[in-house]
Amino acid sequence: MSTKIFYVHGLGGGVMSSTYIGLCKHFDDVEILQYPSESAKYGENLDIICNKFFEVLERDVPDKIVVVGSSLGGFFSSKLVDEYVRRGCDVNKLGVVLVNPASYPFEVAVVREYPAELVNSYDNIMISQNPNVKKVVVLTEDDEVLDAFKTAERMKENGEIVMFKNGKHSCYEALENDIIGFVKRFC
């Protein structure tokens, strides 16, 4: 049985992300869905991510699909899943692992003083719930970027929430075995 893993990085992330590198170390078929997170607006980024995802699936139809998203990539992963469901794709083939997802990117962007033209494109857009999709939400209490408790509250009806005491925002290295275990659940 074949499994395709898609990784959606966070703000400023990419192929050098420890999560992407770690996924590639543990799994054979990992595709990164790169987007210009620091320069493109919400709609443009979502189009780039969705287009690449569905282009890959047109060429290669796996038995199972796992989407892993970190931070802003977790937010975009939820929107990607919306599109997957909207297109009538089989949700039984899909598993999602969100790692410290940005449940309301505008809130973080304003506090961190990101450029207004980017920040404003995320106003009033929350993470999607996707209740019919198998999902694990990984959060760390000591996240220095996002409020893990707010995120847990916003996502309490949205799959299994696993809260770790330590790990910080970029928690892959601290939680590698746990994150890989969550991904393997869906393979």
Number of domains observed in the structure of the chain: 1
pLDDT the model gives residue 110: 66
Both tokens of 118, joined, read 């980017």
**Per-residue pLDDT tens digits of the chain, which is 187 residues long:** 899 999 999 988 889 999 999 999 999 999 999 999 887 789 999 999 999 999 999 998 999 999 999 999 999 999 999 999 999 999 999 999 999 999 988 887 766 677 777 778 888 888 898 888 999 999 999 999 899 999 999 988 888 999 999 998 888 888 999 999 999 999 9
Distance CA 133, CA 162 (A): 16
Distance CA 179, CA 175 (A): 6
pTM of the model: 0.94
pLDDT the model gives residue 141: 95
Determine the structural domain holding residue 101 and report its residue range: 3-185
* CATH code of the domain containing 43: 3.40.50.1820
